[in-house]
Amino acid sequence: MLSDGQLRWDGDQVEARDATFARRFDTAARGWIDLPVSFPGQPVEVAARLLRAEREVPADYGFGGARHRAPSHAAFDALAAVYALEMPAWSGDALLDIDWAGDVAQLRVDGETVDDRFWDGTRWSVSLRDVGVQHDSTVTLHLLALSGESTVWLPPAAEARRRGTAAALLALDRVSLRERGEWMPVDTGR
């Protein structure tokens, strides 16, 4: 099973929550089959106001053996583009969906880093409840560009996007908010 939401199952019953798609791998057909899912709410756009533009980044932040090291907190503070997220009203728990491109991102709530993510070409979803966002919280997004000279490995779709630009890659494509839904049954076709 593959989904952008949460999945749970017990025996033959499969349920999804917060999913806009679900797929089941069919071993006979050797491919993915789209499954119908019900998503109760529509995402609401979140305004992202640029507070500081990105600065030139190095090709890498050092190595630990053969692996790339993550940038330090000081590198984020010095080089990252910073966006203030103007959160719309929500009730209960909600997910912040971030579509972006670059190297590494941090989400900060009231100045504290509460989540981070290396870019792999997929959406980054964060539960507001899990990271402690309140209605009066200051939420900022810090994005480090991916140097055009970086040797970091990326999945094929992300690598194709990186190859599409000669300079450092940094984009904030969309930020949206969606309230968490209930667990819904998924017809797996079995």
Q: What is the amino acid identity at position 121? A: G
DSSP track, 78-122: HH-EEEEEEPPP--S-EEEEEEEESSEEEEEETTEEEEEEE--SS
What the block records as the tokens of 78 is 């010095």
Q: pLDDT tens for residues 146-175?
A: 999 999 999 999 999 998 887 899 999 999
d(CA 190, CA 181): 25
Q: pLDDT tens for residues 65-106?
A: 888 899 999 999 999 999 999 999 998 889 999 999 999 999
d(CA 74, CA 13): 48
Q: What is the pTM of this model?
A: 0.81
d(CA 110, CA 53): 20
Q: What is the amino acid identity at position 86? A: E
Specify the CATH number of the domain 44-179: 2.60.120
Per-residue pLDDT, 77: 96
- pLDDT-derived band at 181 (thresholds 50, 70, 90) equals confident
Per-residue pLDDT, 64: 86
**In the chain, domain spans:** 2-39, 44-179
